[in-house]
């Protein structure tokens, strides 16, 4: 069976950046399982999963536009340290949740200078080309319940 719209696919992966550094991997864990066509994985990888079968191994390079998006300079801001009440030691790399015009946002601290904290609301992988090494482990038809709910149930999926 091949991966197609409304099929359930399971795969192992290793995600690296342009320098070959591992960003994420399913090694030592269960394969990632998703409902194909539901937008649960980045679009560029989902497109390259189409037509694959269990046992297929391949590499997929995903441009920022089909991954976590391009980096937007306007999502970088300077915030007074006083905005981080209750946090004694603010360091680059720390992540916080805040409120933006469209609701909750996640921000990463990029720099701290005196009483100013520099934050970035871009996804940490925005602007980066993603390099996946993939092994498809299983492909099956989605159940009617999975299609109705828009996600995988059971092993590797959601439990109600």
Residue ranges of the chain that CATH labels 2.40.10.330: 73-120
64: Cα within 13 Å, side-chain hemisphere: 12
The percentage of the chain sitting over the pLDDT mark of 70, rounded to a whole number, equals 96
19 φ, ψ (degrees, to nearest 5): -90, 0
Q: Under the phi-then-psi rule, with left for phi > 0, alpha for psi from -120 to 50, and beta for the rest, what region is 42?
A: beta
Domain 2-68+126-149 top-level CATH class: alpha beta
Domain spanning 73-120, CATH architecture: Beta Barrel (2.40)
pTM score of the predicted model: 0.82
Tens-digit pLDDT profile for residues 129-144: 999 999 999 999 999 9
């Amino acid at each position: 069976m091949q991966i197609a719209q409304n099929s359930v696919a399971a795969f192992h992966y290793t995600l690296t950046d342009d320098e070959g550094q591992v960003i994420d991997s399913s090694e030592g864990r269960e394969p990632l399982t998703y409902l194909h066509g539901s937008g649960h994985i980045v679009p560029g990888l989902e497109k390259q999963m189409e037509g694959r079968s269990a046992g297929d191994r391949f590499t997929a390079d995903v441009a920022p536009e089909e991954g976590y998006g391009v980096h937007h300079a306007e999502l970088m801001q300077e915030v007074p340290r006083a905005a981080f009440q209750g946090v004694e030691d603010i360091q680059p790399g720390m992540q916080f949740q805040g409120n933006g015009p469209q609701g909750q946002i996640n921000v990463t601290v990029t720099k701290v200078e005196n009483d100013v904290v520099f934050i970035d609301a871009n996804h940490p992988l925005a602007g980066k080309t993603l390099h996946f090494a993939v092994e498809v482990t299983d492909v099956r038809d989605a159940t009617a319940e999975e299609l109705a709910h828009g996600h995988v149930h059971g092993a590797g999926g959601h439990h109600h």
